[in-house]
Every structure is written in structure tokens, then in C-alpha cells.
């Protein structure tokens, strides 16, 4: 189901189940960016939202579903004048976000993994996971410009 409303006073809503294919997942963000542009979101918010979305969709497909072609990912997005929500649910076993080591730790600087989760938390206004760990909900507030830590 895809619901797209043109009036900027009305929320833009999108919901689609996709196969475990990163190219399909990456294409979906274009509609959200258009909706944000129509609602006069600042360019920095568009950039950060796209970056967080890309990290989350790739994590769901690669790590959650293990690129299994028999599994799908549910993508839900809503854009309002001042707030947007992205929810991505995979069919994997989930994970414990608290168990992801901080990639900024001295002994992890050259170890891959964990940077996407950190990045999402740094650039979105709110991030939450379901109890299983196979669903991420990200919220961005227009103009919320969190400072990225060094």
C-alpha cells in the first residue's frame, strides 16, 4: 500500500513490503525526500535522513535477513511538516542494540561493524528498537541538528 498526498498540510505516508534486495530498498527513500522537500525541510535534514535510512535498510537486509530471498522487509514512512518517522522491520532473529560495541573505542577503530548503528543514533532525533531487535523506528524533527561527537 502506498498513500501519497500532495498537500503539504497532509502527511505523506508510505508502506511497502520488499524482497531482501538492497537496490530495491535504496530506491524507496526518493519518495520520502520528495515529501520532505515539498514540506520545506532543510537540506541538512534531507541528507541526514537519507543516510540513516540507507544504513537501516542495508542492516535489515544484510544482517537481519542475511540477504535471504525468501524473507522480506517492511518499510513504513510518514512525513509531516515538522516530523518524520521511518520504521523498518526485517524477518531476522533480531539483535540486542546494547550489545553492539562502540566503534570509537581505541581497540575497535580498525574493526568493521557497528558504525551504522552509531551513525543512526547520532543523526536522528529518536531511535528505538522493538524487543526482538528486528525493527527499528527512527524519528527526525525538522531542524533538529544533533552535534556529532568526535
Per-residue pLDDT of the chain (150 residues; tens, 9 = 90+): 444 444 468 999 999 999 999 999 989 999 999 999 999 999 999 999 999 999 999 999 999 999 999 999 999 999 999 999 999 999 999 988 777 766 555 654 455 555 688 889 999 999 999 999 999 999 999 998 766 544
Please give the model's pTM, rounded to 2 decimal places.
Answer: 0.85
> Tell me, what's the pLDDT at 87?
98
Query: In CATH, what number does 2-141 get?
Result: 3.30.565.10
Q: Classify 99 as helix, strand or coil.
A: helix
> Tell me, what's the pLDDT at 98?
79
Query: Which residue shows C-alpha cell 525526500?
Result: 33
> Tell me, what's the pLDDT at 150?
44
> Tell me, what's the pLDDT at 114?
57
DSSP state of 147: P
Q: Which three cell numbers stand for residue 17?
A: 513490503
CA gap 29, 88 in Å, rounded: 12
Query: Which residue shows C-alpha cell 552535534?
Result: 147
Report CA Rg, the chain: 15
The half-sphere exposure of 18 on its side-chain side, counting CA atoms within 13 A, is 23
CA gap 91, 123 in Å, rounded: 25
Q: Which three cell numbers stand for residue 95?
A: 539483535
Quick one: which of 145, 147, 143 has its CA closest to 36? 143
Amino acid at each position: 500500500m502506498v498513500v501519497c498526498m500532495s498537500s503539504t498540510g497532509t502527511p505523506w505516508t508510505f508502506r511497502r513490503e520488499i524482497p531482501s534486495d538492497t537496490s530495491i530498498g535504496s530506491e524507496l527513500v526518493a519518495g520520502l525526500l520528495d515529501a520532505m522537500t515539498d514540506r520545506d525541510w532543510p537540506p541538512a535534514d534531507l541528507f541526514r535522513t537519507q543516510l540513516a535510512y540507507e544504513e537501516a535498510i542495508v542492516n535489515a537486509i544484510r544482517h537481519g535477513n542475511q540477504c535471504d530471498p525468501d524473507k522480506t522487509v517492511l518499510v513504513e514512512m510518514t512525513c509531516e511538516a515538522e516530523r518524520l518517522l521511518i520504521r523498518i522491520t526485517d524477518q531476522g532473529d533480531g539483535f540486542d542494540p546494547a550489545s553492539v560495541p562502540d566503534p570509537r573505542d581505541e581497540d575497535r577503530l580498525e574493526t568493521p561493524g557497528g558504525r551504522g548503528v552509531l551513525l543512526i543514533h547520532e543523526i536522528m532525533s529518536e531511535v528505538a528498537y522493538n524487543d526482538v531487535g528486528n525493527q527499528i523506528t527512527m524519528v527526525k524533527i525538522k531542524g533538529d541538528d544533533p552535534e556529532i561527537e568526535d
